[in-house]
Amino acid sequence: MPVTRRTSTTAAPAGLPSGGTAGVRAARSVLRAAQRARKRFERAEVRRFTGRTRRRRIAWIAGGGSVALTFGLIIGAAYSPLMALRTIEVVGTSRIPAGDVAAALADQLGTPLPLLDADEVKTELSQFKLIQSYVTESRPPGTVVVRVIERVPVGVLAGASGFDLVDSAGVVVETTPERAVGYPLIEAPDGVDSAGFTAAAAVLAVLPESIRTQLDSVTAVTTDDVTLSLLGGERVVWGSAEKSEYKAVVLAALLVGHPAGTVNEYDVSSPDSAVLR
């Protein structure tokens, strides 16, 4: 009886040729082609990523270089002769000639504004005893403004050579042979360094001009016994310098309601309960 043999065949995977040795070689060729294509793709990705990184790095370098260049130009201009001091403007003076202040700082002319010597400016301006404080302001390209606050006189002290017009710190603003009009005589037996002078000057510093011009003198020995004398001889018992602003308001109201000449004494030492005598 004849025997029938059945031969089993296996299909080649999709995309690969089939058929013995030739099929294997063809499959290897396809595989190598795929590997080459993969390598080309990877190289292209590397080049694309590297190019992007390079462009980003170039952009950062260019930006940083622009900033550095700009900063260098600014610094160079600031310290160049273009920014040298050429004009000194002085404002706020009345008793001090502005030209004298500018002349005292003339050594700074030609110096770049950022290099002005603040210590030297302070030394030169300290020669002016009437300057209480000052600030300087640079105005490029070549101007400095000096804003001066002068000492404000509050009264006069009798001295051997005349009358000294002084501020609240006891600094002499001006000396005249005759007593300056409109300023009271400060009587502090222990001098400008005493507690009495300090208290009297503190009171005068807060008085409005309408009251200060009516004063003849201010007397104080201690911090608690300030007494004002008006031009007509009336007395104002002030007490200590505490609450002086409030006491000034109360006294101003009393002088309106009870003008000088109608009473002998105004007592504002306790401003909430002022007394007339």
pLDDT in tens, 44-65: 767 776 767 767 777 677 666 6
Q: Is 269 left (phi over 0), alpha (psi -120 to 50) or beta?
A: alpha
What does pTM read for this prediction?
Answer: 0.66
Whether the pLDDT of residue 20 is over 80: the answer is no
Split at pLDDT 50, 70, 90, the class of 8 is very low
pLDDT tens figures, 150-162: 999 999 999 888 9
Q: Write down the pLDDT at residue 3.
A: 44
Least confident of 15-29, 33-47, 59-73, 109-123: 59-73
Q: Write down the pLDDT at residue 21.
A: 75
Q: How far apart are CA 119 and CA 121, in angstroms?
A: 5
pLDDT tens figures, 122-147: 999 999 999 999 999 999 989 999 99
Q: Write down the pLDDT at residue 73.
A: 46
Whether the pLDDT of residue 163 is over 90: the answer is yes
Q: How far apart are CA 95 and CA 173, in angstroms?
A: 9
pLDDT tens figures, 187-217: 998 889 999 999 999 999 999 988 999 999 9
Split at pLDDT 50, 70, 90, the class of 9 is very low
**Pairing status of strand 172-176 against strand 162-167:** antiparallel
**Residues 190, 246, 238, CA angle at the centre, nearest 5°?**
35
The torsion defined by the Cα of 183, 189, 193 and 195, in degrees rounded to 10, comes to -90
Q: Write down the pLDDT at residue 43.
A: 77
Q: Write down the pLDDT at residue 149.
A: 96
Q: Write down the pLDDT at residue 28.
A: 78
Split at pLDDT 50, 70, 90, the class of 66 is low
Q: Write down the pLDDT at residue 51.
A: 65
